[in-house]
Chains A and B, each alone.
Chain A
Amino acid sequence: MRSDRASRPLKLAALGGLLFLHVPLLFVFLYAFTTEEKSYQFPPPGLTLKWFGVAFARQDIWDAIGLSLKVAALATSVALVLGTLIAAALARRQFFGREAVSLLVILPIALPGIVTGIALRAAFNLLEIDYGLLTIILGHATFCIVVVYNNAVARFRRLSGSLVEASMDLGADGFQTFRYVILPNIATALLAGGMLAFALSFDEVIVTTFTAGQQSTLPIWMLSELVRPRQRPVTNVVAVFVILVTFLPILAAYYLTRDESQHK
């Protein structure tokens, strides 16, 4: 029960903010159905479903989707392993320079993607790694790790240190302790972090531009489509698809973490 009611100007401001955020998205949906294919004309001269069929038939779109899913899945997997390990190391122990290390872990997400991109490109050149799937995954892993780390470290800090000691005391070795005590307690945090990482990777453009070879991930494909005035609504169809693919995991992650805080 909430006794204080929001004032009218506050409500209007909130409504305005929501509209500002979401009306553009509605246009993305609208133009996926327009009959005009050369420019975005409002109101649309007519509505059609044919672009969904066109998009479905184009192999370059399927290739881009496939690559994006593959990159997101692998980058997220790498991030889950490394991010969890970093979080475990930094949450538990006190050691000299811990805060500095923690800052260094978070830094990639604060740095402009373009800096990360240039840095990675320089590194890949130096190591003579060919641009391709591997370099895209490594590029994405840099910021995916941060997301997983942030989720995991918060949960590790809440996890009482004596739980681990209790497990060892009761006869469990390190692996059993991880399997039966640590993992169940951080699982939802990892799931939430993993989903966010997946969503971030799926729509990443800047770092990908620097680390991809000839391949196009889905966002790169869309960017290149925008400069070509051909079958423009197909891009919108794909955009609708991207919105759904990224929105669902984020929503799920939100609910997963929210439930946790309610149980407390």
Chain B
Amino acid sequence: MTVAAPAVRFRAVTRHFGPVKAVDGVDLEIAPGEFFSMLGPSGSGKTTCLRLIAGFDQPSAGEIEIFGVPSAGVPPYARAVNTVFQDYALFPHMNVLDNVAYGLMVRGVGKRERHARAAEALALVKLGQHGERRPVQLSGGQRQRVALARALVNQPRVLLLDEPLGALDLKLREEMQVELKALQRKLGTAFVFVTHDQGEALSMSDRVAVFNEGRIVQVGPPEEIYERPRTDFVARFVGGSNVLPAAVARGIGGPDAPCSLRPEAIVLLTGPAPEGHAALTAMIEDAQYHGAARRLLVTVEGADLRLAVSIPAAEGGGFGPGQTVTLGIPLAALWAMEAA
């Protein structure tokens, strides 16, 4: 049995900018055809990793392989990857069709063939009728599609996307999430998707790598990242989860470790705590209505601890700041994490 080489492999990759370690000893493997997200706050090293794959930047140490081929010294134009840039980077002096055909043009594909293939790529992103326009005449969403078509027309084996949806409004962003995912399934190309939006990463990816301060904190399928965070950074950043210090967790009969606790797992009690639940008295600081859910921000009495509680909007319409409530914490919902 032959094992296919991973689409992208990082081996102890480090990138320093002077004293700053933008990427600090990253190991990862991205499978062919995988939708892989790099998630993290700005400055966490995810975009630098993308630029290292594209070849715009070179690692200070470590190795990057693309389909088993070491990429050291390979210039960007000789790599089997293409990039969709955050600002789209469309050529302002060319029309849309020539923008999309650019990669074919510089490789010497004849005019008729490259225009035919560019038109196909535009049709793929549902922009078939805009070939004659200039980029400035398009909306943000349309430019984004042109950038996508321009990368895909070269049939890359890995497509790199640098926060491609960041500049779009919410509705368009959700539409594009669905379309990107469908496109990726159809083409079978590995997508490496950089984002700081956890919802985006969770909803589209096969696997997510969570970055913090130049390192990968956790990598795994979205469910695992969301439900079983490895550190409190992942818990807070990915899911807006509550983090209970080890002392509090131990005090209510849970594990002797910092624990994550999802806001929707907490219930409000009116009587004694049911089996498997610990009761905590807390005061409401703020109550927010979010449509489907109601979010309470509470302070636990006797502990310096604030928790977010999410309850169905139909319950507890009468809650307001200053009120005291009893929280039921299901011990089974406490997920023990590594001490920071």
CB within 8 Å of B: which residues of A? 160, 162-163, 165-173, 176, 180-181, 184-185, 263
Of A165, A180, A181, the contact of B56 (CB 8 Å cutoff):
A165
Contacts of A169 in B (CB 8 A): 54, 56, 76-77, 81-83, 151
Interface string of B118-161 (1 = CB under 8 A from A): 00000000000000000010000000000000110010000000
Q: Check A168/B77 contact, CB under 8 A, given A160-B87, A176-B106, A180-B102.
A: yes
Distance in angstroms between the alpha carbons of A154 and B8 in the assembled complex: 39
A173 near B91: Cβ-Cβ < 8 Å: no
Knowing A169-B54, A171-B103, A176-B106 are in contact, say whether A163-B91 is a contact too (CB < 8 A): yes
How far, in Å, is B108 (CB) from chain A's closest CB?
10
How many pairs of A and B residues are in contact by the CB < 8 Å rule? Answer: 63
Identify which of residues 91-114 in chain B touch chain A, using a CB-to-CB cut-off of 8 Å: 91-93, 102-103, 105-107
The reply to whether B54 and A170 form a contact with Cβ atoms under 8 Å apart is no
Q: B89's contact among A160, A184, A185, by CB below 8 Å, is which?
A: A160
Q: Which residues of A contact B312 (CB under 8 A)?
A: none
Q: How far is the CA of A166 from the CA of B162 in the complex (A)?
A: 12
What is the chain B residue whose CB lies nearest that of A168? Answer: B76
Contact A166 B77 (CB under 8 A): no
Return the chain B residue nearest A263 by Cβ.
B136
9 extra A-B contacts, CB within 8 A, seeds A160-B87, A163-B91, A169-B56: A162-B87, A165-B76, A165-B89, A166-B89, A168-B76, A170-B102, A173-B106, A180-B105, A180-B106
A167 touches B102 (CB 8 A): yes
- Specify the main secondary structure of chain A where it touches its partner: helix
Answer yes or no: B75 CB below 8 A from chain A CBs.
yes
> Roughly how many angstroms separate A45 CA and B12 CA in the complex, as a whole number?
92
Q: Which residues of chain A are within 8 angstroms of B81 by Cβ–Cβ distance?
A: 169
* Nearest A residue (CB) for B162: A162
Known: A171-B106, A171-B107. A166 touches B154 (CB 8 A): no
B319 proximity list for chain A (CB < 8 A)? none
Chain A residues contacting B93 (CB-CB under 8 Å) are 184-185
User: Hey, which chain B residues are within 8 Å of A185, CB to CB?
Assistant: 92-93
Interface assignment of B85: CB less than 8 Å from any CB of chain A: yes
A180–B106 Cα gap in the complex (Å)? 9
**In the complex, residue of chain B having the shortest beta-carbon distance to the beta carbon of A181:** B91
**Chain B 72-84 near chain A by CB (<8 Å), digits 1 or 0:** 0001110001110
Which residue of A has the minimal Cβ distance to B54? Answer: A169
* Residue in chain B with minimal CB distance to A187: B93
Flag if B77 contacts A173 (CB, 8 Å).
Answer: yes
Nearest CB in chain B: distance from A181 CB, A: 6
When distances are taken between beta carbons in the complex, the residues of chain B under 8 Å from A173 are 75, 77, 106
A179–chain B nearest beta-carbon distance, Å = 9
* Cβ distance A52 to chain B, nearest Cβ, rounded Å: 45
Assembled-state Cα–Cα distance A163/B106 (Å) = 15
**How far, in Å, is B100 (CB) from chain A's closest CB?**
10
Chain A residues whose C-beta falls within 8 Å of the C-beta of B83 in the assembled complex: 165-166, 169
Interface readout for B52-91 with A: 1 if CB under 8 Å, 0 if not?
Answer: 0011100000000000000000011100011101110111
Given the complex, which residues of B lie within 8 Å of A172, measured CB to CB? 77, 102, 106
Interchain nearest-CB distance for B38 vs A (Å): 18
Interface pair A168/B75, CB less than 8 Å apart: yes
A166 / chain B contacts, CB cutoff of 8 Å: 83, 85, 89-91
CB-CB < 8 A to B105: which residues of A?
180
Min CB distance B99 to A, Å, is 9
Distance, CA A214 to CA B92, complexed state (A): 50
Of residues B81, B82, B106, which shows the largest number of chain A Cβ atoms within 10 Å of its Cβ? B106
Instruction: Name 22 interchain pairs, CB-CB below 8 A, sorted by A.
Output: A160-B87, A162-B85, A165-B56, A165-B89, A166-B83, A166-B90, A168-B75, A168-B77, A169-B83, A169-B151, A170-B82, A170-B151, A170-B154, A171-B77, A171-B154, A172-B106, A173-B75, A173-B77, A173-B106, A176-B106, A180-B102, A180-B106
Q: Which residues of A contact B89 (CB under 8 A)?
A: 160, 162-163, 165-166
Residue among A162, A165, A170, A263 making CB contact with B106, cutoff 8 Å: A170
In the complex, are the beta carbons of B150 and A170 less than 8 A apart? Answer: yes
Q: Which B residue sits closest to A183, measured CB to CB?
A: B93
